[in-house]
Amino acid sequence: MIVRGRSRTSGNTRPLACSKRWRAAGLVSMACAMGVAGCSPTLDWREQRLGGQGLVVLLPCRPQLDERVLLLGGVPVTMRLAACTAGGLTWAAAEVEPAPGQSPAAAMRALHEAAARNVGAVPSQAAASASDGSGRWTFTGRRADGQATAMRLALLARGRSVVQLSVIGTPAPAGDALDTFFGSPRWAR
């Protein structure tokens, strides 16, 4: 049943039931829009599996997956990589298995040096003196366009699998999100 009423402003007759529906639809649309905005956090954590060794890491955004061959200590190896951008930072997790005859510690030292070079920084001496090459570092340098940037790097190994976690951006990444990311690697069965 449609009830007709008069608009207070124009005196025109229009169906009241219709105007109530439109008002209700408008309120529902506004609530949905606010709900979507409230439920889209900057960091949307998700698990990502890398490589054949069962490595699982948490990334704060949907990653692009890649596999590339790189020289690690002068030896070609395959690196499996997951990377994404969230909160103005680039988050990347990579796994590599050193070439036969190359130790995981030597691979970590080579990854440390390459990461430092990527942002135009000098590799820290702490990596060269660490017995297994694992640890966390902060590098500051410049991007190719000359802008200042910072990189947080973590390296670890399990068996022959070497993992590199990095967060790049300005200002230097820090806080709970960094701890969540760096503390996330685990090996599933």
Lowest model confidence (mean pLDDT) among 15-24, 55-64, 85-94: 15-24
Q: Measured at the alpha carbon of residue 94, what is the angle toward residues 93 and 95, in degrees to the nearest 5?
A: 135
Within 8 A by CB and 6+ apart from 22, the residues are none
What digits encode the pLDDT tens for the residues 26-50? 444 444 443 333 444 788 999 999 8
Within 8 A by CB and 6+ apart from 25, the residues are none
Q: What is the reported pLDDT for 57?
A: 95
Query: pTM for this one?
Result: 0.74
End-to-end CA distance of the chain: 64
What digits encode the pLDDT tens for the residues 113-129? 999 988 888 776 655 55
Tokens of 82: 């997951």
DSSP character at residue 131 = S
